[in-house]
Structure formats: C-alpha cells, structure tokens
Amino acid sequence: MTPGDLAERYASACFGIALEEWIGSLRAVNRALEADRSAAEALDDRSTPFADRRRRLERMIPAAAPAAVRRFFGTLVSNRDVALLPRVLASLERLATAGPSARLATVMTAVELDEATRQQVERSVRSRYGGDLQVSYEVDPQLIGGLLIRVGDEVIDGTVAARLRELDGALRRAN
C-alpha cells in the first residue's frame, strides 16, 4: 500500500467518524422535535429570549455530542432556523452518501409530481447536466404551475408565474 492510499484510508475513516457524530446528533434532535411539534416553533419564537430557547434545545442534544455540533445548534437557534433541521439533516445524509462533491438539482413545482413525471424530469435534467446528478423535489404552490429547476448557480424557470411576469413586462414595454 502506498503512502497516498494509506492517507486516503485514514481520511475516509475520519470522514466517517465525523459524519456519524453529526448525523447521530442531528437525528436525535430531529426525533425530539418530531415528538414535540410545538418545540421547533418555540425555538424559533422571536418573543422568547435566546438564552431560554438555547437551554430548551440543549436538553434535546445528546450528551456525547461534540462541541462543534452544540455550536451548530446554537447557530440554528440564534438565526431562528430550527425549523430547517429536517432539510439540513436530509442534505447532510445526501452528502454522506454521495460525498461532498455530489451535484444536486432541486426541482420545485406547484403540486406534487407523480412517479412517471418525476422519472421524465430526472431523465431530462440528467441528460443536460450528467448522470451523477441527484434530484430533490420541493412543492411551492405560489409557482402556480410548471417547473423551477436549480442546479448549482443555474436556474431554469419554466413556471407559469415566470411566464406571467414576462408577459406583464412585455405589455408594459409596449405601452
């Protein structure tokens, strides 16, 4: 085994250990928040002092959680972003599975897509951006219809709302 191979093995071991600690802690707090639906709202409540919200969250964090994990949760509380924890956890799990260089496409729609439509969208997006692309879906009723696709910094806005804005702009310029 070359020194480079050995270094790669050690790095992989460190990466795995760090992820286990983080994902385990995030899952534990997420389970606690799911069990008490009002807790996430209370932790993001602007009328409650930060120290009180932080103490409440601290009771949910596993005792063995590293200091960096505790600071991370403090940041969520400070920014009133505790409600984002399920999404943060899902993204971290995706990164753990695919690695930090994994590419992600986020597809936003006004309604939930059926499986056949999802497969068609994924084929289309992967043909344009590469087969290694992971695709996640979000529903936003404000889009009215169509698709909004984000891949890195690129946005493809094929929503009805975008088309209406374009039409409005064209009509304003015509007058």
Q: Which long-range contacts (CB under 8 A, 24 or more apart) does 56-59 make?
A: 57/29, 57/82
Q: Domain locations in the chain? A: 3-95, 103-174
pTM given for the model = 0.54
* Contact between residue 80 and residue 41 where contact means Cβ atoms under 8 Å apart: no
The confidence score (pLDDT) of residue 98 equals 63
Distance, in Å, from the CA atom of 44 to the CA atom of 35, rounded to the nearest integer, reads 17
The confidence score (pLDDT) of residue 121 equals 92
Distance, in Å, from the CA atom of 138 to the CA atom of 47, rounded to the nearest integer, reads 30
List pLDDT tens digits, range 120-159. 999 999 888 888 888 888 888 888 888 999 887 788 888 8
Residue 126 half-sphere exposure toward CB, CA atoms < 13 A: 12
Q: Which residues of the chain have pLDDT under 50?
A: none
Distance, in Å, from the CA atom of 141 to the CA atom of 100, rounded to the nearest integer, reads 31
Residue 2 half-sphere exposure toward CB, CA atoms < 13 A: 3
| Buried/exposed code over 66-99 (b: 16+ C-beta within 10 A; e: otherwise) | eeebbebbbebbeeeebeebeeebeeeeebbeee
Architecture of the domain defined by 103-174: 3-Layer(aba) Sandwich (3.40)
